[in-house]
Homo-oligomer: A and B are copies of this chain.
Amino acid sequence: MEELVRPNINTTPVELMPDFQFALSVDCVIFGYDEGVLKVLLIESDLPAYKGQWSLLGDLLRHDEDLDEASYRVLRERTGLTDMFLEQVKTFGAVNRHPAGRVLTTAYLALVNVKDYQLKKKENALQWKPVSEIQTMAFDHRLILDTSLTVLQRKIQEEPIIFNLLEKKFSLRDLQHVFEQILGVEFDRRNFRKKLFTTGLLTDVNEMEQQVRHRPGRLYSFNQKAYEQIKRKTFVGLQF
């Protein structure tokens, strides 16, 4: 078989092996919900090949760090946030995806509360771009963004992660609007409320919206403990 005659990890000292000549990076697709719009945090590419184009926030993997740690480090270093929803999406490994050599990248999906971020930001080169307005991007980052958005759409229907995009206390209108923004559909307001209440995941915090120019709505918080109990009874059913 072909692979038996090629140098491999059993036949060759590591430092001489052509197999150990890959670079790895992580790229974070950081979603935020701001003023009724789904946005993603981008930076202008610093690579000549992609001058002026928008790029995801990423960095090369270091030798002494786990892949998951690297994504966490990028988030922390670039946004100052340390406690966010962060999950691996997919690894992109096309041969020519990076002009500097064979660099594969693992995409991570992050959901942050834009209000938290704004208090701590340090870099002005970063921008929250509305997802719907993004055209071309550097590298294969447009593909990565599209893939991550699809994953986000699926995941918010399966797990209550959407609350990571909102403040601790939120109105049902905000909650419904984030769903609608991400999924690109509209829900009936009464049915949406009914559905959310019957999940038992909302806690009424007995406060009202402030500074709205209409009748203020009640505020709710996500009840994490209730979810921990519910999620053990894993749903089983076919839906294709």
Q: Which residues of B contact A35 (CB under 8 A)?
A: none
Does the CB pair A20–B19 fall under 8 Å?
A: no
- Contact present for B63 and A9 (CB under 8 Å): no
Q: Is A159 a contact of B240 with CB atoms below 8 Å?
A: yes
Copies in the complex: 2
**Complex contacts, A120 vs chain B, CB 8 Å:** none
A10 vs chain B, min Cβ distance (A): 7
Name the CB-closest residue of B to A201. B240
Chain A residues numbered 82-109 whose CB sits less than 8 Å from any CB in chain B: 88, 90-95, 98, 100-104, 106
- A211 near B: Cβ within 8 Å? no
**Contacts A24-B104, A240-B160; A67 near B47 (Cβ below 8 A):** no
Is there a chain B Cβ closer than 8 Å to A8's Cβ? yes
- A98: chain B residues at CB < 8 Å are 9
Chain B: CB-nearest residue to A183: B236
Within the assembled complex, what's the spacing in Å between the Cα atoms of A159 and B229? 27
Query: B20 contacts A101, CB within 8 Å?
Result: yes
Q: Contact partner of A60 among B9, B91, B102, B227, CB < 8 A?
A: B9
* A22 surroundings in chain B (CB, below 8 A): 20, 22-24, 61, 63
Q: How far is B98's CA from A106's CA once the two chains are assembled, in angstroms? A: 19
Interface string of A109-148 (1 = CB under 8 A from B): 0000000000000000000000000000000000000000
Q: CB of A239 within 8 A of chain B?
A: yes
Give 1 or 0 for each of A32-73: 1 = CB within 8 Å of chain B CB: 000000000000001100000000000111011111101000
Top 6 A-B pairs, shortest CB-CB distance = A67-B93, A9-B100, A14-B101, A91-B91, A19-B23, A20-B23
Q: Can you name 17 A-B residue pairings with CB atoms under 8 Å?
A: A1-B77, A3-B60, A3-B77, A9-B101, A20-B23, A20-B101, A20-B102, A24-B104, A61-B93, A66-B94, A67-B93, A67-B104, A157-B237, A157-B239, A183-B236, A201-B240, A230-B240
